[in-house]
A = this chain, B = another copy of it.
Amino acid sequence: MAKRVMTLDELDLPVGKKTRLSRLLYRYGPRNGRLMVLPIDQGLEHGPRDFFVNPESLNPEFQLRLALEGEFSAIAFQIGLAEKYLRLFAGKVPLILKLNGKTEIPPDDEAFSPCHASVADAVRLGADAVGYTCYVGSPRQDDDFIQFGNVRREAERAGMPVIMWAYPRGRFIEQKGGRDSFYAVDYAARLAQELGADVVKVNYPKVDEEKRAQYPKEYRELKLSKREMLEQIVASAGRTLTLMSGGSKRSDEALFDDVRVALEAGVTGFIFGRNMWQRRFRDALDVAGTITNMIQDVSPSVAKKAALV
A residues touching B (Cβ–Cβ < 8 Å)? 1, 11-12, 41, 43-44, 47-49, 52, 56, 58-62, 78-81, 83-87, 100-103, 105-107, 112-118, 120-121, 136-139, 141-146, 148-149, 152-153, 156, 168, 170, 172-173, 176, 183, 186-187, 189-197, 216, 218-219, 232, 235-236, 238-240
Contact = CB atoms under 8 A, between A and B. Distances in A.
A41 B193 CA distance: 11
A83 B141 contact: no
7 contacts: A48-B190, A49-B183, A49-B218, A103-B141, A105-B137, A112-B142, A116-B148
A196 B61 contact: no
B219 A49 contact: yes
A187 B101 contact: no
A114 B142 contact: yes
A contacts with B: majority SS? helix
Most chain B CB neighbours (cut-off 10 Å) among A60, A61, A121, A141: A141
**Taking the full assembly, how many copies of this chain does it contain?**
5
Given A1-B62, A48-B232, A85-B239, A80 B193 contact: yes
Contacts of A60: 238
A295 B262 CA distance: 48
A59 B235 contact: yes
Most chain B CB neighbours (cut-off 10 Å) among A44, A47, A146: A47
Contact of A153 (B11, B118, B235): B118
Contacts of A168: 105
Most chain B CB neighbours (cut-off 10 Å) among A49, A105, A176, A219: A105
Contact of A78 (B58, B121, B144, B195): B195
Contact of A101 (B48, B120, B152, B194): B194
A121 B197 contact: no
A80 B143 CA distance: 18
